[in-house]
A and B are shown apart, each in its own frame.
Chain A
Amino acid sequence: MAKTIQEINEKIKKGKAVVYTAEEIIDVVKKKGVKKAAAEVDLVTTGTFAPMCSSGAYFNPGHANPRIKLGGGQVTLNDVPVYTGFAAVDFLVGATAIPDDDPRNKIYPGKFPYGGGHLIEDLVAGKDVRLVARAYGTDCYPRRKLETWIRLEDMNEAVLFNTRNAYQNYNVAVNLSDRIIHTYMGVLHPELRNATYCSAGQLSPLLNDPFYRTIGVGTRIFLGGGIGYVVERGTQHNPSVPRTEQGVPRMGAGTLALMGDLKQMSNRWLRGASFVGYGVTLAVGIGIPIPILDEETLRFTTVTDADIVAQVVDYSEAYPKCVPGSLGEVSYAQLKSGSVTVNGKEIPTAGLSSYARAREVAGILKDWVETGSFLLSEPVAPLPSADSGVQFKPLNERPIVNNNKVAVN
């Protein structure tokens, strides 16, 4: 029997919705069978908590007196440069931004102790940060200098806006070279001495709705501890990759662009992260509800870590040089067991995505639904799926020769 989102919302309002996490649902369906479970269960909650570099936040701090036009000027918050190319005082903080005087990788590997991710974490924690601005001055915005303490509650608007989050599957990273390398997948020791992975596997949002049948533009979600929305497909959305028989992408595929009111969020679910030798990022907690509209939506949520495979990629050579192919395929069940076999060698594995925290997110979202404080939204447009032809393309470089003014094809 098919259900609608409205019917499920009615049950949520009455406190009668039947909700399981994407982990719990596996056993429920094993015991009851798909048919019976699909009739009983209204909702499955997913979760993930991992570094997601394409995250950021925009702010409006209000106007100083006399007025200053930050647009076109230089602004830092706790020394982290922010983007000001908007009207007078809106600005955007990117998770990977770092202070101009950070030595970066000059003394390799750089430590990257503070950046945009940490700034967002500090603001969400309610801390005061230093805003320093230089502007060029106009007749209507005469001021050229501003230095002030500011905190989240002082801002008019503070919105988390992430252009690419919640990757549907990801690479497993290893290092075939003879030197240690420092990557966004962590520290990789030479000659296949360790492997890192980054997905919540069976709890991960898009792995429980592999063809985006319920998650679309406008879907209400758990974001950073507050409520957020899916606003678009994420950048690099790549739904047409090879999939398993059950429809699970065998590598990085779909992504989501997300936004939400930063003022509701918490620093437990937005955490600045420093990757030695690489840079700064932001760990984001995301939970997406999957309404059980029919048997098929339910069947997709019963995916287990043993069903989800990922590609092992060498980050010393293949990744930086865009060499396609992989060293092999491993399942998340193997990855989570603590070791995998690559090129005939057993190597220890470690995660970057926290499975324990993913479970916590799914549990919180379940709680919100059960207590009636979270209602489902109806998506207003679908995301491009496996049959859309949408593909993630590499950059086609067209060199600018002799400073010519007209582009060549």
Chain B
Amino acid sequence: MATKRLVFNFPPNLIEQPLTYQLITDHKLKVNILRARVTPRERGRLVVEVSGSKKNLDAGLKYASDLGVEVKPLAQNVQWSEERCIECTACTSICPTGALSVEREQMRVSFNEDKCIACELCLPTCPYEAVQIIF
């Protein structure tokens, strides 16, 4: 079993494709949708956690890429700039997964990208644009 957190970016013409359905039925993958933004005639964006055997996973992702969907690991999508962050902790009570967290002894803030689900809740909370989403 392998698990990957991915971002699918769809061009407008692929929005109608039942991609997740195909991944589940044809490729026997477990697909957990973490976040979705689909607007007619615009690019769609789907953040998913996909698990399955390595072989099925590779085949499923190849199927998505061949369709024209851009597949990227999730980590690349949310960027935290250590330099811009002033460690105020404002975002840490909003972040649902603890990806942005405070070490309480020293009150230092850090970002663990493995925990980030790209929910974007921290974005409007940070006054210093220290967290950015790379679309």
Q: Known: A49-B86, A283-B86, A350-B89. Is A356-B125 also a contact (CB below 8 A)? A: no
Q: Known: A271-B86, A350-B90. Is A356-B127 also a contact (CB below 8 A)? A: no
Q: With an 8 A cutoff between CB atoms, is B91 at the interface?
A: yes
Q: Known: A109-B124, A275-B127. Is A356-B90 also a contact (CB below 8 A)? A: no
The reply to whether B107 and A273 contact each other, CB–CB distance below 8 Å, is: no
The reply to whether B125 and A352 contact each other, CB–CB distance below 8 Å, is: no
The reply to whether A356 and B108 contact each other, CB–CB distance below 8 Å, is: yes
The reply to whether B87 and A357 contact each other, CB–CB distance below 8 Å, is: yes
Q: With an 8 A cutoff between CB atoms, is B102 at the interface?
A: yes
Q: How large is the interface on B (under 10, 10 to 19, 20 to 34, 35 or more residues)?
A: 20 to 34
Output the residue of B93, B106, B129 with the most chain A CB within 10 A. Answer: B93
Q: With an 8 A cutoff between CB atoms, is A338 at the interface?
A: yes
Q: With an 8 A cutoff between CB atoms, is A373 at the interface?
A: no
The reply to whether A274 and B129 contact each other, CB–CB distance below 8 Å, is: yes
Q: Known: A196-B90, A350-B94, A357-B86. Is A271-B102 also a contact (CB below 8 A)? A: no
Select one of B102, B106, B124 contacting A276, CB under 8 A. B124
The reply to whether A349 and B93 contact each other, CB–CB distance below 8 Å, is: yes
Binary contact readout B108-135 vs A (1 if CB under 8 angstroms, 0 otherwise): 1100000000000000110111000000
Q: Known: A271-B128, A275-B127, A276-B124. Is A348-B93 also a contact (CB below 8 A)? A: yes
Q: With an 8 A cutoff between CB atoms, is B88 at the interface?
A: yes
The reply to whether A356 and B93 contact each other, CB–CB distance below 8 Å, is: no
Alpha-carbon gap, A275 to B106, bound state (A): 25
Residues of B within 8 A of A195 (CB): 93
Interface majority SS on A: helix, strand, loop or mixed? Answer: strand
Select one of B91, B104, B128, B129 contacting A350, CB under 8 A. B91
Q: List CB contacts (< 8 Å) of A329-378 with chain B.
A: 336-338, 348-357, 359
Q: Known: A187-B125, A275-B127, A336-B104. Is A356-B87 also a contact (CB below 8 A)? A: yes
Residues of B within 8 A of A260 (CB): none
Output the residue of B92, B108, B127 with the most chain A CB within 10 A. Answer: B127
Closest to A113 in B: B129
Alpha-carbon gap, A113 to B96, bound state (A): 25
Closest to B91 in A: A350
Q: Known: A274-B129, A283-B86. Is A350-B92 also a contact (CB below 8 A)? A: yes
29 A-B contacts (beta carbon < 8 Å): A109-B124, A186-B90, A186-B125, A187-B125, A194-B94, A271-B128, A274-B127, A274-B129, A275-B127, A281-B127, A283-B86, A283-B127, A283-B128, A348-B93, A350-B88, A350-B89, A350-B90, A350-B92, A350-B94, A351-B88, A351-B89, A352-B88, A353-B88, A354-B87, A354-B88, A355-B107, A356-B87, A357-B86, A359-B106
The 9 closest A-B pairs by CB, nearest first: A273-B127, A348-B93, A350-B93, A355-B107, A356-B87, A276-B124, A351-B89, A354-B88, A354-B86
